[in-house]
Amino acid sequence: MDFLRPASWEEALAAKAEHPAAVPIAGGTDVMVEINFGHRRPGHLLDLNRIGELAEWETGADFVRLGASVPYAAIMDNLRAELPGLALASHTVASPQ
């Protein structure tokens, strides 16, 4: 299994184009469990952790934009006022790390 580590969206898209079956991971918890139990054996993992935009959030007067890799702990700590339901739900879906 090859581990691809793009540092930008452009690199990630190029890697996915070159390896269409690559499995993207950020936290990787679910994918790693599937691999460890032999339920999945992808040829390539596409690590998205170096793409900083995925871990960013932005709030405006009438919107909140969350990157796909914003940790639950960041939502609970920083966005409780803007997203109370999501902050509460964050306690039930995963551990803070």
Give SS3 for 32: helix
Looking at residue 66, what is its pLDDT?
92
Task: Supply the CATH number for residue 17's domain.
Answer: 3.30.43.10
Match 């299994």 to its residue by tokens. 1
How far apart, in whole angstroms, are the C-alpha atoms of residue 62 and residue 20? 37
In whole angstroms, give the CA distance from residue 40 to residue 66: 29
Place of tokens 């999501």: 86
Number of domains in the chain: 2
In the prediction, which pLDDT does 72 show? 84
Show the low-confidence residues of the chain (pLDDT under 50): none
25: containing domain:
1-53
pLDDT at 94: 64
pLDDT of residue 71: 86
pLDDT at 97: 58
